[in-house]
Structure 1
Amino acid sequence: MTFALTDWMLYSMWAVLGFMGLNFLFDFFKMMKSGSFSTDFVLGYMRDMVFFVLPLFMFANMMALDHTGWIMHTAYYVGAIGVVFKYLMDLKGKM
């Protein structure tokens, strides 16, 4: 098995990581402005990497096991859209 994000998979991963980074920066500046720093802030994003990004990479690695060619792609894109939507709602709630 090889690991390769192809076509729109790469763009959807960029969107997931981009919205994660945007949320991280928003929280970071908010904490620096208030003058309080917590280690739970960083650990929360590490947890999100394990819970949200790692399964997407696992779907990408399991593409070779899918003989239909669309089941893993669909699962990957639904997961990516779900993560982007989650971070959009988080950003909306913080504003």
Structure 2
Amino acid sequence: MALTLSGLMLYAMWLVLGVMGLSFVVDLFKSFAAGTFSSSSVTSYLKDLLYFVFPLFLLSNMMPLDHTDFLLKIAYYLGVLGVVYHYVGGYFKK
């Protein structure tokens, strides 16, 4: 089974990875500036990749099983919105 990110799904995945990467770089810079760097910050982002991005890839790979052509896409885009909301909401809480 091949990775089937196409069209808007690809841009949505880039949005998720961009928001996660930006959050990682900002937090890394803040921890280096404060002198409180620890490896737990890196492992938390690796955990987020496993918990947030991997299920999105699984949903995209299950697209051929969806005969309606929209149920898994709706789930995929809701997942993308959830991840973006999680990270963007984290900026406003800090």
Aligned to 1:10: 10
Shift in Å, 1:93: 1.6
Alignment length (residue pairs): 94
Corresponding position of 2:40: 40
RMSD of equivalent CA atoms: 0.7
CA separation in 2, counterparts of 1:13 and 1:91?
A: 20
| Residues 7-64 of structure 1: per-residue CA shift (max 9 Å, x gap) | 1001110110010011101100100110121111001000000000000000000000
TM-score, normalized by length of structure 2?
A: 0.96
1:50 maps onto 2:27 in alignment: no
Structure 1 spans left out of the alignment, 5+ residues: none
- Corresponding position: 1:29 with 2:29: yes
Identical pairs, percent: 47
Q: Which residue of 2 aligns with 1:68?
A: 68
Please give the secondary structure, in 1, of the residue aligned with 2:62. Answer: helix
List, as ranges, runs of 4+ consecutive aligned residues in structure 1 with deviation greater than 6 Å: none
Query: Could you state the TM-score of these two structures normalised by the residue count of structure 1?
Result: 0.95
